[in-house]
Each structure stands twice: as structure tokens, then as C-alpha cells.
Amino acid sequence: MKPSVVRIASVCLVLGLLLMSIAVHARDVSAARHPNLAAAQTLIEKAIERMSAAQQANEFDMKGHAAKTKALLDQAYAQIKLAAEAANANK
């Protein structure tokens, strides 16, 4: 059975988003300076990985909710980085 064009496009889109997430997450906070913020970022990374696994398990048929969840997790990750920068500015 040949995979559908839609499914192939969906897989490519998810892989692209995952690669972008990895690039964004490479700029995480220092665990030495902010252990709680760094731990929160690690948990977000794991949540994104689990959402990607859920998407694959459900053949990417989650009506956009998984993708939206991952986008919100990316925003949370960025906010943690901003929180660390704000804390650094206060020292």
C-alpha cells in the first residue's frame, strides 16, 4: 500500500517543525545559574517529544490540537529563556 501524499506531507511538516524546535531549544538557560528554569525547559522538551510520538501513533489525525500544543510549548520554552534573562539582569 502506497502512503498518501497528504501523509507524506504531514510527516515532512512535523519533521521540519521538530528540527526548528531543536534549533530554538539549543539556546536554553544555564542549569548552573537557573536549575529550576533549566529543569522546566527539559520537561518541555520531553513534552514536545511525547506529543510528536502521539501524532505519529495517531497518524497525524488529531485535528491540529497536537500541533497547537507543541506551538504553545515552544512559547513556554521561550518565556523561560526570557525569565532567565530577566533574572540575570537583576543580579
What is the structure's pLDDT at 17?
64
pLDDT score of 28: 87
d(CA 67, CA 48): 10
C-alpha to C-alpha distance for 16 and 29, rounded to whole angstroms: 24
Q: What are the C-alpha distances in Å from 11 to residues 2, 29, 49, 71?
A: 14, 30, 14, 16
| Mean pLDDT over each residue of the chain, to the nearest integer | 85
> For residue 20, which phi and psi values (nearest 5 degrees)?
-65, -40
For 47-88, the pLDDT digits (tens) are 999 999 999 999 888 999 999 999 999 999 999 999 999 999
